Structure 1
Amino acid sequence: MSGSRHPSMDRRTLLVAAAAGALATACGTAAGQPPGKVAVLGDSLPWEKPMAAAGAAMKRVASLQLVPEVNPSLESFEQIVRSSLRTNKTPDMLKYWSGYRLQDLARTGGIEDLTHQWDDAVAKGWVDPSLRGAFTYHRRVYGLPMNLAYWVMFYNPQVFRAHDIKPPGTWDGFLTACARLKKAGITPLHGTAADRWPSFIWFQEVLSRQDPRFYQDLMNGRERYTDPRAERALRTIASFFDKDWFTPMDLSHTDAAAALVRGTVGMVACGTWLGSTLAGAGGKPGENVGAFVLPMADPKARPSVIFESSALVATVKGADHDEAVEATGAWLHPAVMRAFSGALQDGCPNPKVKAANPVIAGLAKKVRGDKLWLLNRFWEQGPPELVEATVDDLAGFLLNPSSYRSTLRTMQGRADEAWKVWREAEQS
């Protein structure tokens, strides 16, 4: 995979052309929806039915119906959003990312300030206040959380019981579980560079277990990739390769989910949104599918967990602008959240709504009960161009684990440039 920050001119030209062609069809919102309906453009086909379920629930509580529109091409979706925000053909609402990607969008001036809606939801107990930082730019809120996925280790309880393994409560227990699975002829861990973006997963998981404060500071440009703590994380991952604990690096999450259910892969690190994929592979929560939060490698470190949450955004120039803004006020309503998270089979940002999936409900109870520190996912942390490039660097490391030092030097070189550009833009 290329580690370059920018696509080639030919590829960029093709993407722009594709986006221009898709704009008329993907953004049916340009002409507006009938009264009482508001379109939401997203990039995920699996979210289409949950969004429709949320829309039906919202119609009952607020007389507004959300209409999902999907462009499943990530690059085309991004091009459409960026190009349309400057026009009157922008979608009414968006399913977008949190963190720096949302900040980057807020910088354009093309999305609405939703601070009032956030404060109202907090007052009603409809949202976890600790999530606020992931949706703010210059202390104002520009998106509302849609789901709340925790990044955990999925496992097969039947396989664990057959080999006298318990879900580990310590880092040493996790390493012991890996060793026992390997001895039993089961590949202990899923690792992959397939589809490119998952390349960050093990760096994120190991680093946040070893030193969550350093992870947070590194992701926000306050620490360096050449720090010994970052090297320790990659050396730890390299040691897993040395022990032959990983699957082939081209095994997708869909195939890994099926392998977990079959019992040929021991553990899969992923967001709780994988639950629907596991169910599609024959997984049954509590029977052949379970999950646990990866234990802290440093028992003195603040207990933490990685989270992921998409942002519901209202645009400034959408054809149904007023109804879109009104819809944001009803989004976190318990009835809407129950319909959405139940259909999505994922966690919910509204603490009053229990996850429909019992495994995810148990995880949410632990996270909230133990007051784990919520750390945003790697993909949402840092300037988007930096994240895109370092994901490619980490993919290269996964294919050549001995390259950890040169990988970190390359990543830091990119970080120096990207953070300089980001901070200069903040001052302009």
Structure 2
Amino acid sequence: MISRKVMSVRARVLTALVAAASLALAACGGDSGDDGGSGGKTELKLYNDKGAWSPFFEDLGKLSKEQIGIGMTPVGYTDEPTYSAFIKASFRTNDKPDLFTWSTGGRLQEIVEAGQVAETTDLWKEAVAAGDLSKELEETYTYDGKQYCVPLNISYWVMFYNKKVYDEAGLKPPSTWAELMSNADALKAKGVTPFYQTSVLFSFVWFQQLLIGTDPDLYNKLATGEAKYTDPGVVAVMERWKQMIDGGYFSDAGSKEDPAVQLKSGKTAMGIFGTWFNTSMTQQGLKPGTDYGMFAIPNVDPAQSKVTMAFESGPLCSLAKAPDTKASTDYMKWWVQQPAQDKWANSRGDVSANPKVAIPDPGLSAIAKSAGGGEYTLANRYFEAAPAPVLTAALDAFGAFMVDPGSYRKQLENIQKAADDYWKGR
């Protein structure tokens, strides 16, 4: 759980980090590639908050060098607050990153409104016309009728499960919420914790899932300020979540053990993650389809016509005042095309924003085809859907709720106060 006192301390630390990052950028940020005497860069640096993905980025850098004559070197961070401070510091210096990763939703809107990020409207038009990006995904990258950045990745949020644990209990992936809970009861009876949850960063996951599975319209209205966190429908979701915690359906939310390790050991049977979690599972030496599987999470309310599935898409961006605008734009154009996306998605074991990319993993392929083909209603992940100040309050509140489930009304009031402050005057 992140307390408000800690958040205050973090804010002071980040102020210092911003100053330090400005000096660091001045020292090294602007010399990110030799122009080979041609006036255009042939080597770009991609700053990112996904340090664990450095080997995959490096492979893409080699491929781009071969195919378009522009290489890419990743500069990866593993601490998101430090990374955010570093990028924001670059806005105020003459030494800019060539490319950088960010998140959609309120955080991207913030830097778009500040005029810091390059528009990519023409790039999107070309990519959609060529079938490299979908019109449906375009909305996620649109502000005031214009597009910004391109998809770094796309992931659908599904339930990962330990197949061996399921098989030993004689269970099959559920098609209804009642079947899911029946499976959970059977697992509990065998001494297996049914579901993974955490109070750190991803504390929103079960709130998100229970709400989109109960009332997706209410979920969307929370994101736009048209509904309140104290509304009866939201309170009912928290009460259901509390009943599940009280019933012993979840792992220890404060555990620092890697969730992939928990699922591998069979200590925990299931966990809700983006399809990017496939990489974590394979890195544990697990085989998809044999050791583990994934399924779309049934709606809590069976009256809904379609299953509502959360999805996320992280952007790859270039600054409005990039060191070499043409080189950065050319790289993003190449990035969304099939040769790059074949390598990028399949090396990580995830889906791609490019509909042309074939996915060899049958389970993953089925999820991607169903989601991309309109079988599910897609809901923007809470982390991107909630305005940044509301998200900060919510992550804190959901973490506190897991420690003290009886405090759910107080926590909803805390989030709503942040929402009132944000929406006031907008």
Instruction: Note whether the superposition's TM-score is higher than 0.5.
Output: yes
Greater shift, 288-297 or 49-58, is seen at: 49-58
2-structure distance, mates of 1:45, 1:70: 4
Change (3 A) 1:26 1:353: farther
1:394 alignment counterpart: 398
Contact 1:29 1:318 in 2 (8 A): no
Listed as ranges, the matches of 1:321-336 within 5 Å are 321-336=325-340
2:350 alignment counterpart: 346
1:419 alignment counterpart: 423
Unaligned runs of 5+ in 2: 36-41
1:65 alignment counterpart: 71
TM (norm. structure 2) is 0.93
Change (3 A) 1:372 1:5: farther
Aligned pair count reads 418
Q: Does 1:381 align with 2:385?
A: yes
Q: Does 1:220 align with 2:224?
A: yes
Q: Work out which of the residue numbers 280, 283, 301 in structure 2 matches 1:280.
A: 283
- Counterpart code for 2:325: H
Q: Work out which of the residue numbers 288, 304, 309 in structure 2 matches 1:305.
A: 309
Change (3 A) 1:186 1:2: closer
Change (3 A) 1:284 1:24: farther
1:155 alignment counterpart: 161
1:113 alignment counterpart: 119
SS of match in other structure, 2:321: coil
2-structure distance, mates of 1:86, 1:118: 28
2-structure distance, mates of 1:366, 1:50: 26
Change (3 A) 1:149 1:247: same
2-structure distance, mates of 1:361, 1:25: 42
- Counterpart code for 2:156: Y
- Counterpart code for 1:272: T
2:43 alignment counterpart: 37
Unaligned runs of 5+ in 1: 424-428
Q: Work out which of the residue numbers 131, 143, 148 in structure 1 matches 2:137.
A: 131
1:50 alignment counterpart: 56
- Counterpart code for 2:148: Y
Contact 1:26 1:69 in 2 (8 A): no
2-structure distance, mates of 1:244, 1:353: 41
Contact 2:155 2:276 in 1 (8 A): yes
Q: Does 1:179 align with 2:185?
A: yes
Give the drift of 1:104: 0.9
Contact 1:103 1:136 in 2 (8 A): no
SS of match in other structure, 2:320: coil
2-structure distance, mates of 1:127, 1:186: 42
2-structure distance, mates of 1:229, 1:296: 15
Give the drift of 1:25: 4.4
2-structure distance, mates of 1:110, 1:151: 30
2:176 alignment counterpart: 170
TM (norm. structure 1) is 0.93
2-structure distance, mates of 1:111, 1:259: 39
Contact 1:148 1:309 in 2 (8 A): yes
2:16 alignment counterpart: 17
Q: Does 1:257 align with 2:260?
A: yes
Change (3 A) 1:42 1:275: same
Give the drift of 1:95: 0.8
Give the drift of 1:24: 4.8
- Counterpart code for 1:387: L
Contact 2:25 2:95 in 1 (8 A): no
2-structure distance, mates of 1:60, 1:72: 29
- Counterpart code for 1:281: Q
- Counterpart code for 2:269: G
Contact 2:132 2:355 in 1 (8 A): yes
1-structure distance, mates of 2:45, 2:424: 37
1:81 alignment counterpart: 87
- Counterpart code for 1:183: A
2-structure distance, mates of 1:24, 1:331: 30
Greater shift, 365-374 or 170-179, is seen at: 365-374
1-structure distance, mates of 2:254, 2:161: 20
Greater shift, 56-65 or 393-402, is seen at: 56-65
2:38 alignment counterpart: none
Change (3 A) 1:388 1:180: same
Q: Does 1:145 align with 2:151?
A: yes
Q: Does 1:366 align with 2:365?
A: no
Give the drift of 1:345: 1.8
1-structure distance, mates of 2:23, 2:34: 18
Counting aligned pairs with the same residue, the percent is: 29
Q: Does 1:317 align with 2:317?
A: no
> C-alpha root-mean-square deviation of aligned residues, in Å?
1.9
Contact 2:279 2:348 in 1 (8 A): yes
SS of match in other structure, 1:267: strand
Give the drift of 1:249: 1.0
Q: Which runs of 4+ in 1 moved over 3 A?
A: 1-7, 10-13, 22-29
Q: Does 1:295 align with 2:298?
A: yes
2-structure distance, mates of 1:248, 1:154: 18
Give the drift of 1:3: 5.2
SS of match in other structure, 2:379: strand
Change (3 A) 1:11 1:190: closer
Contact 1:19 1:77 in 2 (8 A): no
